[in-house]
Chains A and B, each alone.
Chain A
Amino acid sequence: MSNLVILPIIIPMIAAIVLIFFNKSVRISRALTKLFSIISLATAGYITWYVLEHGTIILQTGDWMAPYGIVLVMDGLAAILVLTTNVISTACAFYAPYAGLEKRERFYFYPFFFFLITGVSGAFITGDLFNLFVFFEVLLMASYGLIVLGGGKVQLRESLKYLLINLFSSMLFVTTVALLYAVVGTVNMAQIAERVQEVEQQGIITTIGILLFFVFATKAALFPLYYWLPKSYIVPNPVISALFGALLTKVGIYSILRVFTLIFVYQTDLTHEMFIWIAGLSMIFGIIGALSTSNIKLIIAYNIIPAIGFILLGIGVLNESGISGSIYYLINDMIIKTALFLLVGIIAYVAGTSDLRKMGGLIHYYPSLGWLLFLSAAVLAGLPPFSGFIGKLLLLKGAFEEGEIAIVIIGLLTSLLILYSVVKIFINGFWGDKETMGTIIKKPINGLMAPVVALLTISVLLGVGAELFYPSIESIAAYLLDPEIYIDSVLKE
Chain B
Amino acid sequence: MYKTNDLILRTTASLIAFILLGFAVYLLLAGHNSPGGGFVGGLMTAGAILLMNMSYGFKEVRKVLPINYVKLIPAGLAIAVGTGIGSFLFQQPFLSQTYGYFHFPIFGEIELATAMIFDLGVYLTVVGVMMTIILSIANDTE
- Contact present for B94 and A20 (CB under 8 Å): no
The reply to whether the CB of A202 lies closer than 8 angstroms to some CB of chain B is no
Q: Give the interface size bracket for B toward A.
A: 10 to 19
- Contact present for A63 and B92 (CB under 8 Å): yes
- Contact present for A14 and B81 (CB under 8 Å): yes
- Contact present for A20 and B85 (CB under 8 Å): no
Q: Contacting A20 at CB < 8 Å: which of B71, B91, B96, B97?
A: B71
The reply to whether the CB of B73 lies closer than 8 angstroms to some CB of chain A is yes
The reply to whether the CB of A207 lies closer than 8 angstroms to some CB of chain B is no
- Contact present for B93 and A10 (CB under 8 Å): no
Residues of A within 8 A of B77 (CB): 13, 17
CA distance A352 to B87 in the complex (A): 52
The reply to whether the CB of B84 lies closer than 8 angstroms to some CB of chain A is yes
The reply to whether the CB of A203 lies closer than 8 angstroms to some CB of chain B is no
Query: Do A10 and B84 contact each other (CB < 8 Å), given the known contacts A63-B92, A63-B96?
Result: yes
Q: Mark A48-68, 1 if CB is under 8 A from B, else 0.
A: 000000000001111100000
- Contact present for A60 and B93 (CB under 8 Å): yes
- Contact present for B81 and A20 (CB under 8 Å): no
- B-contacting residues, A1-40, CB 8 Å: 1-3, 6, 10, 13-14, 17-18, 20-21
Instruction: Give the distance to chain B from A318, nearest Cβ to Cβ, in Å.
Output: 34
The reply to whether the CB of B26 lies closer than 8 angstroms to some CB of chain A is no
Residues of A within 8 A of B73 (CB): 20
- Contact present for B93 and A21 (CB under 8 Å): no
Residues of A within 8 A of B85 (CB): 10
Instruction: Give the distance to chain A from B129, nearest Cβ to Cβ, in Å.
Output: 12
Given A14-B78, A61-B96, A62-B97, 17 additional A-B pairs, CB 8 A: A2-B93, A3-B88, A10-B84, A10-B85, A13-B81, A17-B78, A20-B70, A20-B71, A20-B73, A20-B74, A21-B74, A59-B94, A61-B93, A61-B94, A61-B95, A63-B93, A111-B74
A-B pairs with beta carbons under 8 Å apart, 25 shown: A2-B93, A3-B94, A6-B84, A6-B94, A10-B85, A13-B77, A13-B81, A14-B78, A14-B81, A17-B74, A17-B77, A20-B70, A20-B71, A20-B73, A20-B74, A21-B74, A59-B93, A61-B93, A62-B93, A62-B94, A62-B95, A62-B97, A63-B92, A63-B93, A111-B74
The 10 closest A-B pairs by CB, nearest first: A20-B74, A6-B94, A62-B95, A17-B74, A63-B96, A61-B95, A17-B77, A17-B78, A63-B93, A61-B94
Residues of B within 8 A of A (CB): 70-71, 73-74, 77-78, 81, 84-85, 88, 91-97
